[in-house]
Amino acid sequence: MKLLDESAVLAGYLIAAVLFILALKGLSSPRRARRANRLGAAGAIVAIAVYVLGHDIANAAWIAGAVLVGILVAVPAARRVQMTQMPQLVAAFNGVGGGAAALVAVVEFTHGPDGWARSVIAFTVFIGGLSLTGSFVTFGKLQGIITSRAVMFPGLGVLLAVLVAGAVASAVAMVLTGSMLYAIVLLALGLVVGVLFVLPIGGADVPIVISLLNAFTGLAVAGSGLVLSNVLLLIAGTLVGASGTILTVSMATAMGRSVPGIVFGAFRSTSSGGVDAGGPDRPVRTVSAADVAILLEYSSRIVIVPGYGLAVAQAHHAAAELAEILTARGADVVFGIHPVAGRMPGHMNVLLAEANVPYESLVEMDVVNGQFKSTDLVLVIGANDVVNPAAQSSPGSPIYGMPILHVAEAQQVIFLKRSLKPGFAGIENELFFDPKVSIALGDAKATLSELLTAVKAGV
Amino acid sequence: MDLFGLVTITVLAVFLGFEVVSKVSSTLHTPLMSEANAIHGIILLGAIMVAGQADDPLILAVSLLAVVLATINIVGGFVVTDRMLVMFAAKPRRARKDDAS
């Protein structure tokens, strides 16, 4: 049925495009963000609705069934996921989007496009395929299915170069001959390159790669838009490609990294070990939860530095309660947030907001770094890499150049840590051996609840 | 639409994309990435277009797979972004409590 004419459909696309822009724009303010997300969803609904009402669609029942299957998979996954596992879910959603763009391009190739459209299809097929498998490898790394360490084997760089050259050759063959065979080969090469591209990237850089692949999927969608001559796909895909690129660069800047350094650095680096800490035998000072409670009693300026360990242990609520009790007793308690604390930039803010920590208590790195000198006690909960001085002092370290929280400038530092094992980036932390530093070993949640009991008993 | 029109739109959209995210604090980087992820799920429209024209069973199957994947992207993307953003919403209860103490 055709209820809308062509110009009405195009007007609907324009409305949808404006809603997408408002959605991205609105995400810059925490208060308006939720409404902005709804505007984005409304834009998508408007676009699909005007298309369906404006065209004769074959296979409508099949399509409706496929949409239903997609909804039944996506909604439970998105609603049930733990907030700590959200980065890998976003990666997975991004991957399937890239896969969809690649498949749409492959199907469009069967319609006998001209040479220009063939080259756009080649681009979309390759980038979409790469984004699909690349995203699933990041998913595996974050979920712990694949090791988070950088995976390298001799000749990987050469192999990747050969595969990319092969992809270029297949793309050229595809444009010249219009043969489906080359399109399939190109898709396969995109899938393999996606895996090999992400495998050598170490754990700490994975969030940046997710953002980069997100931008790639945007470009693949824009490519589909060009091929289908659909203005909305073109605008939405280009918007995401461009904003995703900026976002990737600003995330990388926040970590003191460069995007080419992350992507190609793995093929150049010779050192992956970081600091030679002289073996695990060196003495560290350990303390009990009760000792920590007493130290907290005597501290008037306290900075809590939360890390992913806090999130994994689901201890963000306990940390929030501790901060609340100490604040009620007159201490000045803030949370010092590293831009990449957690697994993605801003991830820790999401988790602490979930635990009702007031927005004003979350202090960004640049500000809190100026406050450590006048701080009595720093409580580092489940964080490691973001306070590791190796990022400043050891040029061979994988995290070298990342700005850190200078907790060592405070009077005293206490780590709540599960073990003395290195963090996600796999690097030894020299700070553990500093005389100002003591460590309370154990699960962050268990230690924090002991700490809470002890602090409450001390009233 | 002609090629020149499409290229014009692409170039303008690139600048717009740079502009809209240039002033976002790192606090909101994660939800913003998630929102951008949801928006490129509009590839669902493209998937429906090709599935709606498919006349060969194999092509229909491939198109329907694209529809399923794209639906997961767009629906999951918006729902998970909403879950993140609920936590950034204003909490008046909290503010009153702080005033009282």
Say what the pLDDT of residue A48 is: 96
pLDDT, tens digit (0-9, with 9 covering 90-100), for A202-235? 767 888 899 999 999 999 999 999 999 999 999 9
pLDDT, tens digit (0-9, with 9 covering 90-100), for A138-167? 999 888 888 777 777 888 889 999 999 999
How far apart, in whole angstroms, are the C-alpha atoms of residue A4 and residue A51? 9
How far apart, in whole angstroms, are the C-alpha atoms of residue A380 and residue A344? 18
Residue where a domain terminates, one of A242, A268, A294: A268
Give the residue-averaged pLDDT of A57-81.
Answer: 95
Same domain, A387 and A444: yes
Give the residue-averaged pLDDT of B88-93.
Answer: 54
> Exposed, middle or buried, B60 (CB in 10 Å: 0-12/13-18/19+)?
buried
Structure token digits, residue A270: 């010779």
Which letter does DSSP use for residue A416 in this model?
E
Residues of B within 8 A of A222 (CB-CB) are 10, 13
Same domain, A262 and A300: no
User: Residues A105, A121: contact at Cβ < 8 Å?
Assistant: yes
The whole-chain average pLDDT of chain B stands at: 85
Say what the pLDDT of residue A238 is: 96
DSSP reduced 3-state for A230: coil
Chain B interface mutation, best of A27, A191, A337, highest count of B Cβ atoms under 10 Å: A27
Q: With CB atoms and an 8 Å threshold, state whether B39 touches A21.
A: no
Distances B3 to A125, A225, A239, B12 between C-alpha atoms, Å: 20, 12, 19, 14
What percentage of residues in chain A have a pLDDT greater than 90?
43
How far apart, in whole angstroms, are the C-alpha atoms of residue A116 and residue A241? 21
Residue where a domain terminates, one of A237, A268, A299: A268
Say what the pLDDT of residue A266 is: 59
Residue where a domain terminates, one of A219, A238, A268: A268
Residue B18 lies in a domain: no
Residue A57 lies in a domain: no
* Residues belonging to chain A: 459
Say what the pLDDT of residue A124 is: 97
Q: With CB atoms and an 8 Å threshold, state whether A70 touches B27.
A: no
Distances A79 to A32, A75, A354, A372 between C-alpha atoms, Å: 21, 6, 15, 39
pLDDT, tens digit (0-9, with 9 covering 90-100), for A240-280? 999 999 988 887 877 777 788 777 765 554 444 433 444 44
Same domain, A127 and A260: yes
Q: How confident is the model at residue A113 (pLDDT cuts 50, 70, 90)?
A: confident
Is the pLDDT at B12 greater than 90? The verdict is yes
- Domain of B72, in residue numbers: 27-100
Say what the pLDDT of residue B89 is: 63
Number of structural domains (chain A) is: 2
- CATH number of the CATH domain containing A406: 3.40.50.1220
B26 touches chain A (CB under 8 A): yes
Same domain, A159 and A216: yes
Look-up: residue for tokens 């659909």?
A: A230
Q: Smallest Cα–Cα separation from A228: which of B16, B58, B6, B13? A: B6
- Domain of A263, in residue numbers: 81-268
Which residues of A are known catalytic residues? 385
Is the pLDDT at B23 greater than 80? The verdict is no
| Strand ranges, E, within B6-60 | none
Beta-sheet pairing, A377-381 with A412-417: parallel
Which letter does DSSP use for residue B55 in this model?
-
User: Residues B13, A242: contact at Cβ < 8 Å?
Assistant: yes
Number of structural domains (chain B) is: 1
Residue A208 lies in a domain: yes
pLDDT, tens digit (0-9, with 9 covering 90-100), for A357-370? 887 888 888 888 88
Q: With CB atoms and an 8 Å threshold, state whether A246 touches B86.
A: no
Same domain, A321 and A233: no
> Exposed, middle or buried, A302 (CB in 10 Å: 0-12/13-18/19+)?
buried
Residue A66 lies in a domain: no
Which letter does DSSP use for residue A145 in this model?
S
Same domain, A289 and A396: yes
Question: What is the identity of the amino acid at A329?
Answer: R
pLDDT, tens digit (0-9, with 9 covering 90-100), for A290-318? 888 888 888 889 999 998 778 777 788 88
Same domain, A224 and A349: no
B61 touches chain A (CB under 8 A): no
Same domain, A256 and A289: no
